[in-house]
């Protein structure tokens, strides 16, 4: 793509998060442009760190077949300014307080996963489903000080906190432990509740030449809901293959429960299992990690030049990955051990905050109506090293807020079960070799 021939009219608003805005081309690419206005060198290094962390670290844990790391590109400043003006009116009002970086010209170029290259255009446009699954396990660390954390998952407690602080009007009944359980019934239960109360954890888009049209729960039919739930759970989130073609015959088998998941849990190399086991790099919980962070912080206070050797801000290369893979199981009191545990926590937090994009694409067939699909894991930016104290404060607020809740109930079923463990089934551990 020639930077000198970029035309803002060929690009459209795609979406945005807390740190960046995404625009997509009418053909194959998307640009991810960050909000902070930094110097060109700083912006370039920041985005290159994202590329390196995604390609060298997260792809090894989650699987390169699910990862698209992208590349850093330099865009003409006038193009970025005109693009910023064009998309401003398309942005949600509550997002418009943040301004695109129009000074550095740096952006992350990624493939447009809503229209994969191998998809042949048809009369029926692709459907995209984006899920933010969140943390799928309960902490078992000896450092956990509040017993409630071993019974009620972080997402469910956070729902109480967000409702009480006016972030959401209504609590979601979705529980990540259901989605990661490997149980057909619980996974269907999870997706249904995501659709009923999606918040920012579930989106369904219809792709058309003019952009993405987001569905809401008012225009999703029960039939579409049922088929989507069954298809996502039974086949897409629980397989270990790349793009595959499904026929109506197979889809019928899935819908009538004739093709079931292994009752022992998720397959060890499916996308959900890989995300979950990456999340489990957080083995100490934030309460156990914080003293190690303070050890590193104190060391860097006395020896600030050690930041480079300890790779506090990267580079996220093979050496960085090797440290994560070979971290000792026991604390030897060293600053190296403490730093590596913080790095593992950062990778785990990235996995806890990632998104899974599923694209369903109709294809043509002489015998059956068929479609193909692709699965990708997105939003794999590295979490800042210095975010640990903030995470501890948030954890304390969420837990204490939940304990102060007048109901003290974490609703999951019509019977409003009191915690997240009543239907919890263990997930089969994956061999270390599969993850590394």
Claim to verify: residue 153 and residue 88 sit in the same structural domain = no
Contact 158, 396 (CB under 8 A): no
Contact 316, 56 (CB under 8 A): yes
What b/e sequence results for 307-319 when a residue is b if at least 16 CB atoms lie within 10 Å of its CB, and e otherwise? eeebbbebebeee
In the DSSP assignment, the letter for residue 426 is P
Averaged pLDDT score across all residues of the chain: 79
Closest by CA to 255, choosing from 246, 263, 267, is 246
Claim to verify: residue 66 and residue 162 sit in the same structural domain = no
Q: What integer pLDDT is reported at residue 158 of this predicted model?
A: 94
Closest by CA to 204, choosing from 192, 189, 220, 188, is 220
* % pLDDT > 90, the chain: 40
Structural domain for 50, as ranges: 3-111
* Domain boundary residue, one of 60, 83, 111: 111
Over range 253-281, report the average pLDDT.
Answer: 68
Q: What integer pLDDT is reported at residue 113 of this predicted model?
A: 81
User: Please, which pLDDT band fits residue 185 given cuts at 50, 70 and 90?
Assistant: confident
pTM for this predicted structure? 0.83
pLDDT value at 275 more than 60: yes
User: Please, which pLDDT band fits residue 49 given cuts at 50, 70 and 90?
Assistant: very high
Q: Is residue 426 part of a domain?
A: yes
Q: Is residue 61 part of a domain?
A: yes
pLDDT value at 162 more than 70: yes
Q: Is residue 44 part of a domain?
A: yes
Over range 40-65, report the average pLDDT.
Answer: 92
Claim to verify: residue 103 and residue 210 sit in the same structural domain = no
pLDDT value at 416 more than 70: no
Q: Is residue 309 part of a domain?
A: no
- Residues 318-334 have pLDDT tens digits of 999 999 999 998 999 99
Q: What integer pLDDT is reported at residue 124 of this predicted model?
A: 66
Region of poorest pLDDT, from 73-82, 249-258, 342-351, 410-419: 249-258
User: Please, which pLDDT band fits residue 301 given cuts at 50, 70 and 90?
Assistant: very high
Q: What's the rounded Cα separation, in Å, for the pair 402 and 409?
A: 9
CB-based contacts of 229, cutoff 8 Å, min separation 6: 188, 191, 192, 195
Region of poorest pLDDT, from 160-169, 299-308, 337-346, 414-423: 414-423
- Residues 62-116 have pLDDT tens digits of 999 889 999 999 999 899 899 888 888 888 887 888 888 888 888 999 888 877 5
Closest by CA to 23, choosing from 75, 94, 68, is 75
Q: Is residue 298 part of a domain?
A: no
**3-state DSSP helix/strand/coil % of the chain, to nearest 5:** 40, 15, 45
Q: What integer pLDDT is reported at residue 123 of this predicted model?
A: 58
pLDDT value at 386 more than 90: yes
pLDDT value at 26 more than 70: no
Q: What integer pLDDT is reported at residue 8 of this predicted model?
A: 81
User: Please, which pLDDT band fits residue 246 given cuts at 50, 70 and 90?
Assistant: very low
User: Please, which pLDDT band fits residue 29 given cuts at 50, 70 and 90?
Assistant: confident
Claim to verify: residue 174 and residue 100 sit in the same structural domain = no
Question: Considering its fold, how many domains does the chain have in total?
Answer: 2
Closest by CA to 422, choosing from 410, 436, 406, 435, is 410
Structural tokens at position 352? 């806890």
Q: What integer pLDDT is reported at residue 169 of this predicted model?
A: 87
Claim to verify: residue 184 and residue 261 sit in the same structural domain = yes
**Cα distances (angstroms) measured from residue 47 to each of 354, 356, 358:** 17, 21, 25
Q: What integer pLDDT is reported at residue 240 of this predicted model?
A: 45
Q: What integer pLDDT is reported at residue 369 of this predicted model?
A: 53
Claim to verify: residue 90 and residue 140 sit in the same structural domain = no
Q: What integer pLDDT is reported at residue 28 of this predicted model?
A: 61
Bigger pLDDT: 429 vs 404 = 404
pLDDT value at 149 more than 60: yes
Region of poorest pLDDT, from 7-11, 87-91, 194-198, 411-415: 411-415
Q: Is residue 342 part of a domain?
A: no
Q: Is residue 208 part of a domain?
A: yes
Claim to verify: residue 62 and residue 149 sit in the same structural domain = no
Q: Is the peptide bond before 315 cis (omega within 30 degrees of 0)?
A: yes
Bigger pLDDT: 124 vs 96 = 96
């Amino acid at each position: 793509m020639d930077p000198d021939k970029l035309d803002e009219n060929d690009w459209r608003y795609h979406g945005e998060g807390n740190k960046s805005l995404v625009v997509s081309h009418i053909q194959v690419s998307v640009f991810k442009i960050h909000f902070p206005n930094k110097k060109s060198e700083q912006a370039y290094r920041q985005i290159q760190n994202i590329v390196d962390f995604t390609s060298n670290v997260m792809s090894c844990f989650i699987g390169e077949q699910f990862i698209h790391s992208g590349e850093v590109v330099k865009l003409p400043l006038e193009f970025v300014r005109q693009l910023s003006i064009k998309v401003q009116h398309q942005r949600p009002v509550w997002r418009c307080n943040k301004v695109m970086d129009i000074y550095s010209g740096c952006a992350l170029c990624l493939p447009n996963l809503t229209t994969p290259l191998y998809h042949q255009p048809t009369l029926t446009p692709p459907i995209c489903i984006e899920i933010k699954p969140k943390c799928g396990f309960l902490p078992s660390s000896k450092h956990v000080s509040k017993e409630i954390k071993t019974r009620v998952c972080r997402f469910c407690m956070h729902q109480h906190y967000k409702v009480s602080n006016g972030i959401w009007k209504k609590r979601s009944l979705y529980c990540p432990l259901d989605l990661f359980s490997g149980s057909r019934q619980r996974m269907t239960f999870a997706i249904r509740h995501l659709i009923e109360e999606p918040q920012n954890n579930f989106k369904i888009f219809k792709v058309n030449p003019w952009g993405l049209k987001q569905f809401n729960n008012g225009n999703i039919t029960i039939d579409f809901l049922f088929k989507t739930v069954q298809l996502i759970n039974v086949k897409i989130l629980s397989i270990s293959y790349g793009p595959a073609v499904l026929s109506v015959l197979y889809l019928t088998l899935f819908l009538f429960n004739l093709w079931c998941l292994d009752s022992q849990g998720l397959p060890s190399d499916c996308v959900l299992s890989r995300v979950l086991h990456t999340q489990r790099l957080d083995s100490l919980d934030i309460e156990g990690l914080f003293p190690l962070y303070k050890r590193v912080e104190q060391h860097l206070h006395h020896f600030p030049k050690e930041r480079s050797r300890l790779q506090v801000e990267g580079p996220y290369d093979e050496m960085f990955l090797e440290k994560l893979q070979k971290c000792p199981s026991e604390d030897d009191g060293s600053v190296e051990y403490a730093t590596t545990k913080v790095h593992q926590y950062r990778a785990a937090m990235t996995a806890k905050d990632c998104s899974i994009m599923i694209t369903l694409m109709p294809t043509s067939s002489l015998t059956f109506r068929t479609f193909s699909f692709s699965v990708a894991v997105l939003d794999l930016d590295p979490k800042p090293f210095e975010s640990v104290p903030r995470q501890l404060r948030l954890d304390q607020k969420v837990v204490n807020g939940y304990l102060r809740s007048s109901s003290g109930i974490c609703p999951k079923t019509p019977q409003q079960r009191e915690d997240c463990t009543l239907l919890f089934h263990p997930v089969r551990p994956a061999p270390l070799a599969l993850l590394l």
